[in-house]
Structure 1
Amino acid sequence: MVQTATATCFCGTVQLEVPVEGPDFLFAFVCHCTDCRKLTSSMFTSGFAVNNTAMKHIRGEEKLTKYSQKKTTESGNCMTDFFCSVCGTLMYRRSSGYPEMSLPRIGTVDDLELHETKLKPQLEVFCKNRVSWFNGVEGAKQSQGGQ
């Protein structure tokens, strides 16, 4: 049986069930693009890709607020962000370039041990935008642009 995990927003209103292995878990990543930096108020984002059909909304789907735009994305794709309307936590993103997948955020996964194991990023994208004081994720494949 494929292992799944719960992912919850800061206030607990929104909760997802996501695969963390198997064919519906695609990869874990770190992104240094300027949009991700702004969106996370940090130097990069850490997320993972799953097939939409495998991600379940346990509670709070009606409390998600969507924001879509493409004017600043480096890929040119329209990115739709799904935030908890109560606390503002970004739960996941979807790209018009890959409409069959969702990009949940590693930090929302409730089992912190998974952050160290199955959700350790295997891919780093937009490394051309990476800050000089961060050397990257050890062992991760690095790409100067998108995937």
Structure 2
Amino acid sequence: MSYAGSCACSAVEIRIEGEPVAVRQCWCRQCQKLAAGGPTHNGIFFTADIALTGVVASNSRVAASGNELTWSFCPACGTQLYGASSARPEMRAVRLGLLDEHGLEPTVAIWVDEAPAGTVLNPALAQYPAQPPAPGAPR
């Protein structure tokens, strides 16, 4: 399976050749800041399966998990592209909003203990209060 998409201004394009090892909804405070108050929705793909064109900017910080989290975005329009963890450099958490017609749905909600008051979580999703087990196996 392949996936493709672009940022809001089309300056960055993505193509992914492969299936995600997980599809997650993340409620950590950092993701809420990146997503303007809600969760991020991410397909976890192997880095080797991802091809990007265009200029990409990034920032890093130490996450609540203790790992270095790097988030990448289009410097022209600010669209979130993906997140990366120092714990799993072989994977990227691609923001689902970047992809065109992907049909992917989260099966897991993570860091739910950090969800804002009044959040209604989908009971069909597996839920983790904080950091979940690592998705998939390294290649």
Aligned-partner Cα distance in 1 for 2:66–2:5: 28
Give the alignment partner of residue 54 of structure 1, picking from 46, 49, 55: 49
Contact 2:81 2:95 in 1 (8 A): yes
Give the alignment partner of residue 125 of structure 1, picking from 103, 110, 131: 110
Say whether residues 1:68 and 2:93 are aligned partners.
no
Deviation, structure 1 residue 138: 4.1
TM value normalised by structure 2 = 0.88
Say whether residues 1:136 and 2:136 are aligned partners.
no
Aligned-partner Cα distance in 1 for 2:65–2:17: 26
TM value normalised by structure 1 = 0.84
Contact 1:67 1:81 in 2 (8 A): yes
Q: How many residues align?
A: 132
| Structure 1 unmatched runs, 5+ | none
1:113-136 Cα shifts (integer Å, max 9, x gaps): x3xx4x110111011112343321
Give the alignment partner of residue 16 of structure 2, picking from 11, 15, 18: 18
Higher helix share: 1
| Structure 2 unmatched runs, 5+ | 133-139
**CA RMSD between the two structures:** 1.4
Deviation, structure 1 residue 45: 1.0
Deviation, structure 1 residue 97: 1.0
